[in-house]
Amino acid sequence: MPFVALGWLADVLLAPGGADPGGLVGIVWLVVAGLGLRGLLSGVALGITHFADVRLQADLRLRMVQRLGRVPLGWFSANSSGLVRKAAQNDVGDLHHLVAHHSVEMTAAVVLPLGGLGYLFWLDWRLGLLAVGTLPFYAAAYAWMMRGYQEKMEQMNSGFARISAAVVEFVSGIAVVKAFGRARRAHEAYRRAADEFAVFYGDWVRPMLSVEAVSTMALSAPVVGVISLGGGIWFVSQGWVTPAEAMTEVLIAMVVPTTVLALGFGAQSRRTAAAAALRIHDLLHTPVLPVAAEPRVPDGHAAEFDAVRFSYDGTTDVLRDVSLRLEPGTVTALVGPSGSGKSTLATLLPRFHDVTGGAVRIGGVDVRDIAPERLYRTVGFVLQDVALVHGSVADNIRLGRPGAGDDDVTAAARAARIHDRITELPRGYDSVVGEDAAFSGGEAQRVAIARALLADTPLLVLDEATAFADPESEAAIQDALSELASGRTLLVIAHRLHSIAGADRIVVLDGGAVAESGRHADLLEADGLYARMWRAHEATATEPTGGAA
Ligand code: ADP
């Protein structure tokens, strides 16, 4: 409306009989009203899309949380937490431009020039052509630059991948590289990848630069202005259009290039958003653990593995036909070589994964038929990679039983042999993990044990940590563990044989199957895998003190 009105304004001002003041005021009002209406409408439109975006983001995050609450616990590896963080934070944010801005800005970017061009063609077709006169140059240059784009992009991505691989190799091996004086050679691999990439990129982009400079000029305001003015003056001299019409053409021709640039920018942000949407979609479609339509209540707390078969990938069985019964109040230790399936078997009890064959039962009921909330009130777990959440130490312990009072939290921490350490922190139980509470691995595990004590589940899966070298911490953990064991059914993934020698039952896994089971003394007598492991263990356990032999 303002462009058209400006043309009329020129008409009125240049009218042979002198300008008509009434007409002038009317046209000025029209310009003002047009601009005001545009501001109002685009404000309303952006308001609508921003509210929609806020609701979409909230809804997506909520759905992610709901979905993730139902995926198998085994899904949450270090890898997945990066994925979740990216999806919940960056990807949902990446949708913002698409939802809140794209349609409004694209509409404005397309309607304004198209409306103007339509008006020009209506005035005189030659004016319309003049306004888009430089576009074909740009389009041709763009098409030339984009030839083989897909293929070049693939080459570029693989070049990037080679560089990242070289960087990762260099950084992750830096200690070894330095220790063995191979810094130059490792560095070479990175330099070669980087040089190859530079050559490829230079060869691709160099010829484009001059073309791009020229083609961008075809859209620049000075060039468009000069061509429009020159053409307009010529049209007027030929008597095809009035000066006012020529001026309108100049104004409209200047806004046309913004469409082209806005379309390019819009396409880019749409691609980013589409990739983000795809990742969010995948996350929202992560397979969930099926929940029984009519959950059953376990009768007692005896746990049983019945001919359990399990495979992570559907082809190789990690567990083969494992049968095992955990009597209430007993300690069962799982031992075996690394990779024999101890962790996998133990975590099937709290349903980190569902079995591929056979069944895991608690109180005679298949864990798949137990309502999840009840299952997690029945089976607790303390695993190796203890996760402390960002929050106070007290809150971290209270995760075990959210309603627990301060006295209960303190009692649990005392029993887990971590109370004294917590009171040494600047703000005691109110110290925040990651801010003023920093725990060593052994201490973090004792916090996790306090949490498990507070949760007070009758069944407990425990991964006895390997990595804590200091004897004091180890002794404290052992004390805390014995506290946990009293009155509970315990399934322990054992790494150090001496700590489980007193277990009610030791189950030796080998290659995903039960090789032996029994008490320590019986297994030693049987002189099988366990006896061999024990002898090896004894040998290493006595070594540091100078060798008992
Ligand atoms: P252990 O605890 O005795 O060391 P695990 O139960 O961790 O043994 O592993 C048993 C086998 O399953 C190993 O071969 C291991 O590579 C494989 N495995 C463990 N976790 C996964 C997983 N998340 N995805 C695929 N394979 C896995």
Would you give the DSSP letter of residue 180? T
Q: How far apart are CA 482 and CA 415, in angstroms?
A: 10
Bridge partners (DSSP) of residue 360 are 305
Q: Which of 341-350, 432-441, 537-546 has the highest mean pLDDT?
A: 341-350
Is the distance from CB of 416 to CB of 483 less than 8 angstroms? yes
Cβ of residue 380 lying under 6 Å from some atom of ligand 1: no
What pLDDT is stored for residue 272 in this prediction?
86
Q: What is the mean pLDDT of residues 3-11?
A: 82
**Which is the closest atom of ligand 1 to the Cα of 509?**
3
Domains 2-134+219-284 and 303-542 share a fold: no
Best CA proximity match to 454, nearest among 380, 533, 527, 516: 380
pLDDT score, position 51: 96
Quick one: which atom of ligand 1 is closest to the CA of 337? 3
Q: Give the number of residues written for the chain.
A: 549
Segment holding 517, helix H or strand E: strand 513-518
- Write the DSSP symbol of residue 549: -
Q: Please give the CATH number for the structural domain made up of 303-542.
A: 3.40.50.300
**pLDDT category, 162, cuts 50, 70, 90?**
confident
Q: Give residue 77 CA to ligand 1 midpoint distance, Å.
A: 12
Q: Render pLDDT for 277-322 as a digit per residue (tens, 0 to 9).
A: 988 998 899 888 888 888 999 988 889 999 999 999 888 999 999 9
Confidence at residue 22, expressed as pLDDT on a 0 to 100 scale: 83
92-130 confidence digits (pLDDT tens): 888 988 899 888 888 888 888 889 999 999 989 999 999
**Could you give the CA distance from residue 24 to residue 38 in angstroms, rounded to a whole number?**
21
Q: Is there an atom of ligand 1 within 6 Å of 310 CB?
A: no
Cβ(375)–Cβ(382) below 8 Å: no
Ligand 1 centroid vs 347 CA: distance in angstroms? 11
In whole angstroms, how far apart are CA 36 and each of 22, 33, 185, 473? 21, 5, 67, 72
pTM for the model: 0.68
Predicted pLDDT of residue 438 = 84
- Closest-CA residue, ligand 1 atom 6, reads 341
Give the integer Cα–Cα distance in Å for 72 and 347: 11
Q: Considering the chain, what percentage of its residues have pLDDT values greater than 90?
A: 28
Q: Report the distance separating Cα 296 and Cα 372, nearest Å.
A: 11
Across residues 172-186, what is the average pLDDT?
69
Over residues 340-384, the pLDDT tens digits come to 999 999 999 999 889 999 999 999 999 999 998 899 889 988 887
Is the confidence at residue 49, as pLDDT, over 50?
A: yes
Round the average pLDDT of the chain to a whole number and report it: 85
pLDDT score at 545? 44
pLDDT at 546: 39
- C-alpha pair distances (Å), 389 with each of 288, 292, 397, 448, 457: 24, 30, 10, 11, 21
pLDDT at 467 over 70: no
User: Per-residue pLDDT averaged across 44-60, rounded?
Assistant: 94
Q: Quote the pLDDT of residue 56.
A: 94
Q: Is the distance from the beta carbon of residue 346 to the nearest atom of ligand 1 less than 6 Å? A: no
Q: Long-range pairs for 277-284 at CB < 8 Å and ≥24 separation?
A: 277/91, 277/95, 277/98, 279/83, 279/86, 279/87, 279/91, 280/60, 280/64, 280/87, 280/91, 280/92, 280/95, 283/64, 283/67, 283/68, 283/83, 283/84, 283/87, 284/60, 284/63, 284/64, 284/67
The percent helix, strand, coil of the chain (3-state, each to 5) is 65, 10, 25
342 lines ligand 1 (CB under 6 A): yes
Q: Given the CA of residue 312, which atom of ligand 1 is nearest to it?
A: 25
Sheet arrangement for strand 303-310: 319-326, 303-310, 357-362, 365-366
Query: What gap in Å lies between CA 146 and CA 135, rounded to an integer?
Result: 16
Residues in Cβ contact with 207 at an 8 Å cutoff, skipping those fewer than 6 apart: none
Domain ranges of the chain: 2-134+219-284, 303-542
Ligand 1 contact, 343 CB (< 6 A): yes
Instruction: Determine the Cα–Cα distance for residues 46 and 101; give it in Å rounded to an integer.
Output: 7
**pLDDT attached to residue 189:** 79
- Per DSSP, the three-state class of 361 is strand
Which CATH fold topology does 2-134+219-284 show?
ABC transporter transmembrane region fold (1.20.1560)
Q: Taking 70 as the threshold, does the pLDDT of residue 37 lie above it? A: yes
Model confidence band, residue 79 (pLDDT cutoffs 50, 70, 90):
low
- Reported confidence tier of residue 139, pLDDT bands at 50, 70, 90: confident
Ligand 1 near 486 CB (within 6 A):
no
> Distance, CA 15 to ligand 1 centroid (Å)?
89
Once rounded to an integer, what is the mean pLDDT over residues 186-210? 87
Ligand 1 neighbour 318 (Cβ under 6 A)? yes
Q: Is the CB of 508 under 6 A from ligand 1?
A: no
